[in-house]
Amino acid sequence: MIAAQDLHTEFQFTQEAESQLSSDTDLEDPDGKNAKTGKGMAAKKGKKALGDKAKGGGAGRAPGVGRVNGHYQENGMENVTLFEVVKMGKSATQSVVDDWIEAYKQDRDHALLDLINFFIQCSGCKGAVSGEMFRHMQNSEIIRKMTEEFDEDSGDYPFTMSGPQWKKFRISFSDFIAVLVRQCQYSIIYDEYMMDTVISLLTGLSDSQVRAFRHTSTLAAMKLMTALVNVALNLSINMDNTQRQYEAERNKVVAKRANDRLEFLLQKRKELQENQDEIENMMNAIFKGVFVHRYRDAIAEIRAICIEEIGVWMKLYSDAFLNDSYLKYVGWTMHDKQGEVRLKCLSALQGLFYSRELGTRLELFTSRFKDRIVSMTLDKEYDVAVQAIKLLTLVLQCSDEILTAEDCESVYHLVYSAHRPIAVSAGEFLFKKLFSHRGPEEEGLPRRGRQSLNGSLIKTTVFFFLESELHEHGAYLVDSLWECGSELLKDWETMISLLLDEPMPGEEALTDRQETALVEIMLCAIRQACECHPPVGRGTGRRVLTAKEKKTQLDDRTRITEMFAVALPLLLSKYCVDIDKVTNLLQIPKYFDLDIYTTGRLEKHLDALLRQMWAVQDKHTDTEVLEACSTTYHSLCNEEFTIFNRVDIARSQLLDELVEKFDRLLEDFLQEGEEPDEDDAYQVLSTLKKISAFHNAHDLSKWDLFTSNYRLLNTGLQNGDMPEQIVIHAMQCTHYVILWHLAKVSDGSSLKGDMVTVRKQMRAFCLMCQRYLNGINNAVKEQAFTILCDLLLIFSHQIMSSGREQLEPLVYTPDSSLQAELLNFILDQVFIDQDDDNNSTDGQQDDEASKIEALHKRRNLLAAYCKLIIYNVVEINTGADIFKQYMRFYNDYGDIIKETLSKTRQINKVQCAKTLVLSLQMLFNEMLSELGFNVDRSTSAFCGIKELARRFSLTFGLDQMKNREAIAMLHKDGIEFAFKEPSPQGQESPPLNLAFLDVLSEFSSKLIRQDKRTVHVYLERFMTVQMALQREDCWLPLISYRNSLQVGGDDDTVSVISGISSRGSTRSKKSKPATANKRKLPEAEENSCSSTDAVWMNREQSVQTPVMMHSPHLTSTVLRDPKKMRPEDSYTAAFTMPAEQHPHQPVPLQQQQQQPQHHHQAALDYNTQVTWMLTQRQQAEARQQQERVSVHYAKMRNHMQQAIRRGSGLMEDDEEPIVEDVMMSSEDRLEDINEGMDFDTMDIDLPASKNRRERTELKPDYFDPSSIMDDSVLNVSMF
């Protein structure tokens, strides 16, 4: 075979006259009867002269010359390339190929040039190969030239473009190559010119670094290889036929032997062998030149193409390709990182294992890669896992000995998967393994009944269900087996026989556990047949049934009713005392077609069923059984059917008896002066359980159950010795009474005074539950809490929605005491450590199951309370106690708290932000009470608070304008809290809560540039001169928080003290020009502060806090605008910068007079002393301050970068990934770190410096500053 390196390394162009080649159609039709007339390169390409510049691909042609239907045309025929013809897809591929073959016969160089440009254009390249390039340039030079012609603006090319047109093009492209080889297989591909040129071109393109070239050429080469495989297969078949003919002719007697025919067959076989050798050389060249390199390409699509096609080769020509030399590539690629490639491997193997003959030849491969295939059943890509299971099913069909028991067991448990395609595939594997093998002794068994083949298969199903101890979901097992084993699962006659009939002699009877499992499987099969949709948790929803499926559903429902109407009373009679069996059996009637009781004359069986149901409720006190019995009565009591009266009478008799019995027992139980014994309590409890269960599904309003239950609950409160179960069921029954009354009032079927009655009963019952909420029994408290949450939600303001305004008198709003008690219950019963939960396990052993059950109960309690917050039943700020537990109890309740936070923000963004900062303040106060007021910011408690603040900050997302007001209010509350408690040691020591500013700085990145200045000014109102001058470690939270708020530049409005005290003031050394257009606040806006939140910075009248001293009007600064004054200008005249460095305009005297009055109240001599003191301190600390600024900035920058780059955590998915801002070029500005997070205010198309400088012009100010500032601060520009 010819090796890949033996191929031509450059395009060949011979000067000899073109040899006359006959097309395949000429060979197949020598007489020309099927000659195609009127064909040619019609509107596809024109005749072009070599050396002319090709127009859009192909060789050039003379102007005005074209060809239609194989003839040249002139005057305006537009040149259309082969690529455009295939892309349009309007012509049949066969016709396009025939036209090209005709052109090749006339001028093979022109035709090959068209074909070469076809591949180039399919790669998305705008250039074309000219005749001159074809004649004189090598492959590498041509490819390099074409690489330069790519459209740099887009990385798309035809094989990556979306849309139906390009999808059709990909199919047409593959068809074109296949038809081209098929039509040329008898002559042209053996001319040692066309195929050598094409293969050499595709090999060179497949080695290109350009993805489009590599992708297109690999696909073309693989499709070309597939077409050659078909040719080789045909040649092999023809050689075998010729050999048989030759052998047959040679074996004839000499008299009948035709020597000329023998010679003809020998010559034909020789020609076929030569052709076979040439085809093998071509395939060898493609395989070694393209496949071997591209099956491990960096692009997954290219690797998938290679694996898909090699699977086709092995299936088509198994004699040549189905061996370990080729199979190893598929085996290796099963470890590919991309699911798309792994999927192609499995699909290729499935095509081989479909044939039992081919499957037997894969024993070595299967033994080598079996473990990998089995492990792929757990692949993270669901599609790959499904195909892996299907492949193992095919392997199982080929041989039972390949897969071990461990291999099969790894697939068995997947029938319980929540992903339905995986479960169905595993169910098919299970069915083939366990149920498809029939021995000779099973052939003569009956079709139905206990002794039938299905009987043993149903037993096998039960055994499998019981052996899978980790799973107890019968509905999932039935759904998995339904598509392949529905006939078995619908054999309810056999199931009934296994349950009712006595076992035959020598037959092993089912155990009690096996019978319970069989009843559950039977119920699940009935449900699947009647509902025709997967069980809960598997599948997206109900689909629309076809007409055939609907007919099958009706037929199955009829069979179920006819069969179980007779058998169900017998089953209930046999298993009357078994809780699990009875609970499942009582659910069967809800799938009945109740008309059949009348049409089928089955009334006597209905009476038998009602008698058995009465016996069941009389014997059982278990809640599940009683609720199942109540649901069955509700299903049978349907007024649309004629059996309603019969069932209603039986139900009324039962309820009358229960209520009468309850009243009688209650009177005896509550008699004064007598101590109730345990027997009386048990009788009351059992009767109350039955009434509660029936009241859940049936209206018992005609019996006055509220009075009886309220009396029972009141007595329990007074005496305190009422059994907890009686109290719990009495609460539940009273709850049902109120809900049934509400239903009547809502639909207008009640009497006039019923609304007043419902209102009184509801309020009295809520007070009763509130009193029980303060008890000592946890089970009773949980019941009272759950009912209170339900009632508060039902009778909230939303009861008036949907046009039910008449129910407004029923609205009940909990008072503050009830809200506090509900919250205290949550904090005491829900947010507890697992080890401390001694009450929720009810005395059971401390195993994993009981812990999970207790956690589930606590989650339900928390969800019930969070719904009150979400629906605005209780105050939003009560959620602070919930939100503060987010980090500590994330694993248990993180999803509930996060959803509550999200819904709360939708209700009120500002109030939600206030609640978040309140939760952080609570944690901070708890830390101070535990660790004292000397806060060590390196402790785990403080770091935990900061981490929680960071998570809260991430929940605000990247849209700063949407949450602008909420973030501002959050900072306002945080600042007030930080300065709320002054230090008892005087102003020399920081306030007790000052460290909270370090926590608050986590939210600084969410402030827009304008609001950072506003918050900074508000912060300064709480600061004194001594605070601004402090540099000790205890003041670092204030310094870091101020740095996080400072955005730098001359347009940043800061006071005199902030100019020298803030470490961020180093930015003034490289200050930028002031923004020309400042926002001017109108007087009406300045005086519009009316609400509490609107004047949150006006603190002079409410809380007396120290304020920053304003700069004295000295000689050097009196003519300067305070808003544009640089910090250096404020110190003293001796430290002013040269005039050329202060390009500020003088301020008119009128503007000076408009300054706030308190700017001029300070005595001039005092201001002079302060200025002198500041000057001296600045000179003494200049060098030390510079060093500390550098160290502190390095620490803060490192901390902020870690916060930005921190990996995904609990709430990180609420915000888009944050990347490092490449526009942060100033390393000496801490505030740039904060700016880097304001992505929504950044126009990334602008240069870095311009972007920072014109940030305020890019983002208009939509925020009303009057909502957070008072008149004294509105002088400061938000910009």
Blockwise average pLDDT, block size 10, the chain, 1279 residues = 37 34 38 36 33 36 36 42 76 83 88 88 84 78 82 71 83 89 87 89 90 92 94 92 87 80 88 91 93 93 94 92 92 93 95 88 90 94 95 89 89 92 94 74 60 85 86 88 92 92 82 94 94 85 84 94 94 93 94 91 92 93 93 91 91 93 88 71 92 92 89 87 90 94 82 83 93 90 94 90 83 91 92 64 60 91 94 91 91 92 91 93 90 81 91 88 90 91 76 88 89 89 78 82 69 34 37 38 37 40 35 34 38 34 38 39 44 54 55 51 42 35 32 35 31 33 34 32
At position 291, the amino acid (one-letter code) is F
- Tell me how far apart the alpha carbons of residues 1007 and 1005 are, in angstroms, rounded to a whole number: 5
Tokens of 991: 């306030």
Look at residue 357 in the predicted model and tell me its pLDDT.
85
- Let me know: does 1185 contact 1062? Beta carbons within 8 Å: no
Tokens 């470490």 label which residue?
1063
Look at residue 383 in the predicted model and tell me its pLDDT.
94
Q: Is the pTM of this model over 0.85?
A: no
- Let me know: does 592 contact 564? Beta carbons within 8 Å: yes
Which of the 8 DSSP states describes residue 7?
Answer: S
- Let me know: does 1202 contact 1014? Beta carbons within 8 Å: no
Distance spanning both ends of the chain, measured CA to CA: 79
- Tell me how far apart the alpha carbons of residues 574 and 498 are, in angstroms, rounded to a whole number: 13
DSSP H or E stretch at residue 224: helix 211-250
CA dihedral 694→695→698→700, nearest 10 degrees, is 120
**DSSP string for residues in 85-117:** HHHH--S-HHHHHHHHHHHHHH-HHHHHHHHHH
Give the residue among 162, 158, 72 at the shortest CA–CA distance from 121: 158
Q: Where are the beta strands (DSSP E) in 1088-1208?
A: none
At position 452, the amino acid (one-letter code) is S
- Tell me how far apart the alpha carbons of residues 947 and 935 are, in angstroms, rounded to a whole number: 16
At position 1099, the amino acid (one-letter code) is R
Tokens of 1224: 């942060």
- Tell me how far apart the alpha carbons of residues 39 and 540 are, in angstroms, rounded to a whole number: 54
- Tell me how far apart the alpha carbons of residues 824 and 830 are, in angstroms, rounded to a whole number: 10
Helices 1036-1045 and 1009-1020: angle between axes, nearest 10 degrees: 140
Biggest CA-to-CA distance, the chain: 144
- Tell me how far apart the alpha carbons of residues 1113 and 1117 are, in angstroms, rounded to a whole number: 6
- Let me know: does 1267 contact 1094? Beta carbons within 8 Å: yes
Which residues neighbour 395 within 8 Å (Cβ) at sequence distance 6 or greater?
353, 359, 366, 370, 373, 402, 403
Pure H helices in 1125-1163: 1149-1153
Task: Calculate the CA 1045 to chain-centre distance.
Answer: 36
Which of the 8 DSSP states describes residue 258?
Answer: -
What number of H helices and E strands is found in the chain?
Answer: 53, 2
Residue 49, SS3 per DSSP: strand
DSSP H or E stretch at residue 123: none
- Let me know: does 1075 contact 1051? Beta carbons within 8 Å: yes
Give the residue among 701, 698, 699 at the shortest CA–CA distance from 758: 701
Which of the 8 DSSP states describes residue 291?
Answer: I
What is the number of residues in the chain?
A: 1279
Residue 971, SS3 per DSSP: helix
Helices 848-870 and 778-794: angle between axes, nearest 10 degrees: 30
Give the residue among 528, 451, 542, 536 at the shortest CA–CA distance from 490: 528
Q: Residue 1232 CB: number of other CB atoms within 10 A?
A: 21
**DSSP string for residues in 825-872:** HHHHHTS--GGG--STTTT----HHHHHHHHHHHHHHHHHHHHHHHTT
Look at residue 1175 in the predicted model and tell me its pLDDT.
56
Q: Residue 54 CB: number of other CB atoms within 10 A?
A: 23
Give the residue among 68, 88, 89 at the shortest CA–CA distance from 77: 68
Task: Calculate the CA 97 to chain-centre distance.
Answer: 48
Give the residue among 528, 490, 509 at the shortest CA–CA distance from 450: 509
Tell whether the torsion through CA atoms of 905, 906, 910 and 915 is positive or negative: negative
Tokens 């809200």 label which residue?
819
Task: Calculate the CA 686 to chain-centre distance.
Answer: 47
Q: Residue 748 CB: number of other CB atoms within 10 A?
A: 7
Tokens of 881: 């106690």
- Tell me how far apart the alpha carbons of residues 1035 and 680 are, in angstroms, rounded to a whole number: 71
Look at residue 856 in the predicted model and tell me its pLDDT.
93
Tokens of 598: 């009348």
Residue 68, SS3 per DSSP: strand
- Let me know: does 191 contact 21? Beta carbons within 8 Å: yes
Which of the 8 DSSP states describes residue 1072?
Answer: P
Look at residue 280 in the predicted model and tell me its pLDDT.
92
Tokens of 238: 């023809």
Given the DSSP bridges, would you call strands 71-74 and 65-68 parallel, antiparallel or unpaired?
antiparallel
Give the residue among 616, 744, 730, 601 at the shortest CA–CA distance from 662: 730
Look at residue 293 in the predicted model and tell me its pLDDT.
93
Give the residue among 923, 941, 792, 930 at the shortest CA–CA distance from 866: 792
- Let me know: does 893 contact 862? Beta carbons within 8 Å: yes
- Let me know: does 627 contact 696? Beta carbons within 8 Å: yes
